Amino acid sequence: MHQLWLIPALPLAGFLVNGLFGRKLPKSAVNAAAIGSVILSFLWVVKTLLALGPLETPYIERYFTWIQSGLVNVGFDLSIDRLTAVMLLIVTGIGGLIHIYAAGYMAHEGGYYRFFAYLNLFMFFMLVLVLAANFLLLFVGWEGVGLCSYLLIGFYFLKKSAGDAGKKAFVVNRIGDFGFSLAMFLIMAGFGSLDFQTVFAKAGAAGNGVAPATITLICLLLLLGAAGKSAQVPLYVWLPDAMEGPTPVSALIHAATMVTAGVYMVSRSAPLFNQSPAALEVVSYVGLITAVMAATIGLTQYDIKKVFAYSTVSQLGYMFLALGSGAYAAGIFHVMTHAFFKALLFLGAGSVIHALEGEQDLRMMGGLRKKIPVTFTVLVCAAVAIAGVPPFSGYHSKDAILLAAHAHHPWMYWVGVATAGMTAFYVFRAIFLCFFGTYRGTAHAHESPLVMTGPLMVLAALSLGGGYIHIPEYLEPIFGAVHGEHDQTLVAISVAAGVAGIAIAWLFYVVSPGLPDGLARIFSGPYKLLYNKYFVDEAYDAAIVHPIRDGSTAVLWKGVDAGFIDGAVNGVGSVARAVGGGLRNLQSGYIRRYAAWVVLGGVVLVAVVGFWGGVK
Partner 1 sequence: MPAQVPLSWYLILSAVLFATGAAGFLLRRNIITVFMCIELMLNAVNLSFVTFSHKFGKVDGHIFSFFVMVVAAAEAAVGLAIILTVFKNRATLEVDEISSMKL
The helix (run of H) or strand (run of E) holding residue 279 is helix 277-298
- Identity of the residue, 69 or 585, whose beta carbon is nearer to partner 1 in the bound complex: 585
Q: Does 596 bind partner 1 (CB under 8 A)?
A: yes
Euclidean distance between CA atoms 441 and 577, whole angstroms: 70
Q: Does 591 bind partner 1 (CB under 8 A)?
A: yes
Euclidean distance between CA atoms 85 and 91, whole angstroms: 10
SS (H, E, C) 376-418: HHHHHHHHHHHCCCCCCHHHHHHHHHHHHHHHHCHHHHHHHHH
- Identity of the residue, 108 or 584, whose beta carbon is nearer to partner 1 in the bound complex: 584
Q: Does 589 bind partner 1 (CB under 8 A)?
A: yes
* Closest separation in Å from C-beta 579 to partner 1: 15
Beta bridge partners of 73: 68
Pair 55, 82: CB distance under 8 Å: yes
Give the residue from 165, 519, 513 showing the smallest Cα distance to 363: 513
- Identity of the residue, 521 or 592, whose beta carbon is nearer to partner 1 in the bound complex: 592
Helices (H), 106-195: 112-131, 135-153, 160-191
Q: Does 583 bind partner 1 (CB under 8 A)?
A: no
* Closest separation in Å from C-beta 582 to partner 1: 14
Euclidean distance between CA atoms 131 and 196, whole angstroms: 11
Q: Which stretch binds partner 1 (CB under 8 A): 36-44, 515-523, 565-573, 590-598?
A: 590-598
Q: Does 587 bind partner 1 (CB under 8 A)?
A: yes
Q: Does 525 bind partner 1 (CB under 8 A)?
A: no
* Closest separation in Å from C-beta 601 to partner 1: 12
SS3 55: coil
Please count the residues of this chain forming the interface with partner 1, following the rule CB under 8 A. Answer: 10
Residues 6+ apart with CB under 8 A from 97: 343, 455, 458, 459
* Closest separation in Å from C-beta 21 to partner 1: 60
Give the residue from 336, 322, 142 showing the smallest Cα distance to 222: 142
* Closest separation in Å from C-beta 161 to partner 1: 58
- Identity of the residue, 443 or 607, whose beta carbon is nearer to partner 1 in the bound complex: 607
Q: Does 607 bind partner 1 (CB under 8 A)?
A: no
**What phi, psi does 222 have (nearest 5°)?**
-60, -40
- Binding mask of the shown chain, residues 529 to 568, with x at each position contacting partner 1 by CB under 8 A: ----------------------------------------
Q: Which stretch binds partner 1 (CB under 8 A): 275-283, 427-435, 519-527, 583-591?
A: 583-591
* Closest separation in Å from C-beta 555 to partner 1: 43
Q: Does 443 bind partner 1 (CB under 8 A)?
A: no
* Closest separation in Å from C-beta 613 to partner 1: 20
- Identity of the residue, 358 or 580, whose beta carbon is nearer to partner 1 in the bound complex: 580
Q: Give the dihedral of Cα atoms 286, 291, 294, 298; nearest 10 deg.
A: 180
Among 492, 599, 604, 607, binds partner 1 (CB under 8 A): 599
Number of CB atoms found within 10 A of residue 360's CB: 18
Euclidean distance between CA atoms 399 and 404, whole angstroms: 8
Number of CB atoms found within 10 A of residue 56's CB: 10
* Closest separation in Å from C-beta 591 to partner 1: 5
SS3 76: strand
Euclidean distance between CA atoms 131 and 85, whole angstroms: 9
- Identity of the residue, 213 or 599, whose beta carbon is nearer to partner 1 in the bound complex: 599
Residues 6+ apart with CB under 8 A from 52: 2, 59, 80
Residues 6+ apart with CB under 8 A from 176: 224, 225, 226, 227, 228, 229, 235
Q: Which stretch binds partner 1 (CB under 8 A): 233-241, 252-260, 447-455, 591-599?
A: 591-599
Q: Does 522 bind partner 1 (CB under 8 A)?
A: no
- Identity of the residue, 567 or 602, whose beta carbon is nearer to partner 1 in the bound complex: 602
Among 468, 526, 588, 608, binds partner 1 (CB under 8 A): 588
Q: Does 68 bind partner 1 (CB under 8 A)?
A: no
* Closest separation in Å from C-beta 607 to partner 1: 15
Q: Does 582 bind partner 1 (CB under 8 A)?
A: no
Q: Does 578 bind partner 1 (CB under 8 A)?
A: no
- Looking at residue 467, its amino acid is G
By the criterion CB under 8 A, which residues form the site for partner 1? 584, 587-592, 595-596, 599
